[in-house]
Amino acid sequence: MARKLFGTDGIRGKANQEPITAEIALRVAMAAGHRFTHGEHRHLVIIGKDTRLSNYMLESAMQSGFTAMGMDVVLVGPMPTPAVAMLTRTLRADLGVVLSASHNPYEDNGIKLFGPDGFKLSDSVEEEIEALVENGLEDHLADAASLGRARRLEDAPGRYIEFVKHTFPRRLRLDGLKVVVDCANGAAYKVAPSVFHELGADVIPMAIEPDGTNINRNCGATAPQTLQEQVVAHGANLGVALDGDADRVMLCDENGQVIDGDQVMAVIARAWQAAERLRGGKVVATVMSNLGLERYLQGLGLELERAIVGDRYVLEKMRVGGYNLGGEQSGHIILSDYSTTGDGLIAALQVLAAQVETSSSISELANVFESYPQLLRNVPTNGAGEMENVGVKSAITAAEARLGDDGRVLVRPSGTEPVIRVMAEGLDLQVVTSVVDDIAGAIADAAAA
């Protein structure tokens, strides 16, 4: 069936506009509640959120929907996405919900669902939930005696802090290291500074005063400029920038240079290979990861396996192949020994563990490969089948020929926005820019035809 609600990472949209309205949130909760209520046990759902103003509305609507289906609800308040995934497992809940639009501004919001195993739902299960939303659920409501109850889990932050700390080697500490932590005025604004502080680091926290509208505003993983400045100003060893729900991370070294997800994966892959912890001889990334990472891993005797864009698809390949390291260039790093989804804090701690083990600076540790020039452009689309246009196909074929074996072209519709993403990389930036211009122009012409 054609998916109307769910995209590549749950349901996304503008707050208080379809599909991110109280009514749809209520119906999604009812549908998901019905889908996951099986057996005689008392059914439970965990609801976490980030700091967006609209989450007061969505949280209340989903709580109503779940209790109407007979599910008990545990509210954990602002908590990172990986914390909700962890709590869903440890509390033996039937379902976990995260209300967040990740790195987007506060006007946007989203609904992510996790199964009882802590993994994001498959496409097929999401399609079942969509069908239930459309077909109505009035015949499945709980009777008056079976309605659910709701309560708050006051110690949720402490549980997650301890969980994250236990992923850092017990023989190591962060004493003597200064870390700037940019919490994006988001879900990790309380827990992230505590993690580093309790492991011994001197912590300079940033963006820890959310007001409902300042999440990701000039801060966080997609806007690391202030973090870079603060790292240099404070003479810090490392900068850590999380996004709004803390499932992704960007780092910067002591010189203020950004370290993206590809470089983070390279650092962890090398450290884990040396410790004989890396399973399967592979790292899973997406089609967006840089060729420089692929060539670097080849030099280590490792292979890069690529998935389509979306951390859930990276994780699917990891689970099928039994691999324990994967991620995205954008900073979603999945370490399946510890977590069922991307976790920015755990990824940052693995880089710090490698630094402490080697007594090197972050710049020495992370500057292990030279990225190929890469350019990404978003071209607006009106859904008129631009990808099937003859001119667009010809432009892509010509671009691939120009780049040859030392380059790549990727053209794909976005799963979250009405745009087509055009990416190219190669040895020569001028050639890369030229081929992106050509493809983007062909798509714009097709959209206007």
List, by residue number, the catalytic residues: 102
Amino acid identity of residue 213, one-letter, is T
Give dist(CA 416, CA 312) in Å, integer.
Answer: 14
Give dist(CA 187, CA 51) in Å, integer.
Answer: 6
Strand partners, 178: 202
Q: Give the containing element (helix H, strand E) for 135.
A: helix 123-135
Give dist(CA 219, CA 227) in Å, integer.
Answer: 8
Listing DSSP states for 406-424 in one string gives: G-EEEEEE-SSSSEEEEEE
Q: How far apart are the first and last CA of the chain?
A: 29
- The contacts of residue 211 (CB under 8 Å, 6+ apart) are 185
Give dist(CA 323, CA 284) in Å, integer.
Answer: 8
Buried/exposed code over 110-120 (b: 16+ C-beta within 10 A; e: otherwise): bbbbbbeebbb
Question: Two tokens at 414?
Answer: 């976005």
Q: Give the containing element (helix H, strand E) for 346.
A: helix 344-358
Most distant pair of Cα atoms in the chain: their distance: 69
Give dist(CA 39, CA 194) in Å, integer.
Answer: 39
**How many residues comprise the chain?**
449
404 by Cβ neighbours in 10 Å (0-12 / 13-18 / 19+) ranks as exposed
Give the strand pairing for 408-413 and 374-380: unpaired
Backbone dihedral angles phi then psi of residue 286, each to the nearest 5 degrees = -105, 175
- Cβ-based neighbour number of residue 95 at 10 Å: 24
Cα atoms in the 13 Å half-sphere on the side-chain side of 61 = 19
Give dist(CA 43, CA 115) in Å, integer.
Answer: 13
